[in-house]
Structure 1
């Protein structure tokens, strides 16, 4: 996968590139194709800011992370993206609106009204 990494403040070293690519490789294990991932690295005063966007089928992922340590910020960013991707893949299984418990509770309430 080709990840576009942009930074105006600091130079992207091979170690930084490798860390970012390893975090995105963990996301690929979830069997969801990432479309054109883009990472922006910036620094404001003492904090590193990292933003990432990636397209997925039927949606888009976006996450930001901020930390004093660049590598810790990359890890936080990866965790945020992983949570979003898990939520996206598990969404069809949730089906809260079609819960069988809700359907069973409604007829019992109607019977109680008829008896009164």
Structure 2
């Protein structure tokens, strides 16, 4: 899995990069056919926003999350992606 991490009005530090990589490793346990992920971290006024577009075999998943803290926004993003991946995996099993 290839992770592209960009920041919009946010400097992407090594600690943020390591945190995102460790969280996306959790998603890879559920579904190993993830080809690449594009993560955008944005600062909008007082809200920290994390967005991700994930390319899978058989589809594409998008999610975003907002919070006052960037790490909490990333956690919310991972939770949303996790639910969507499990739903996508169940659809593939039904076919």
Q: TM-score, normalised by structure 2?
A: 0.91
Q: 1:8 Cα shift?
A: 2.6
Note the 1:40-79 alignment, pairs <5 A.
Answer: 40-79=40-79
Q: Distance in 1 between matches of 2:15 and 2:40?
A: 16
Partner of 2:36: 36
Residues in 1 aligned to 2:86 and 2:9: alpha-carbon distance in whole angstroms: 32
Q: Highest relative contact order (Cα 8 Å, sep 6+), 1 or 2?
A: 2
Q: TM-score, normalised on structure 1?
A: 0.76
> Which residues of structure 1 form unaligned runs of 5+?
96-116
Q: Size of the alignment, in residue pairs?
A: 95
Q: 1:51, 1:31 → 2: CA distance?
A: 19
Deviates more, 1:30-39 or 1:61-70: 30-39
Instruction: Indicate the structure with greater strand content.
Output: 2
Structure 1 position 31, deviation (Å): 3.3
Q: How many Å separate the matches in 2 of 1:31 and 1:66?
A: 25
What are the Cα deviations for residues 9-37 of structure 1, in whole angstroms up to 9, with x where unaligned?
A: 11111110011111110011013321220
Please identify the structure whose Cα radius of gyration is greater: 1
Match of 2:11 in 1: 11
Runs of 4+ in 1 over 3 A off after TM superposition: 92-95
Cα root mean square deviation, aligned: 1.5
Q: Which residue of 2 aligns with 1:24?
A: 24
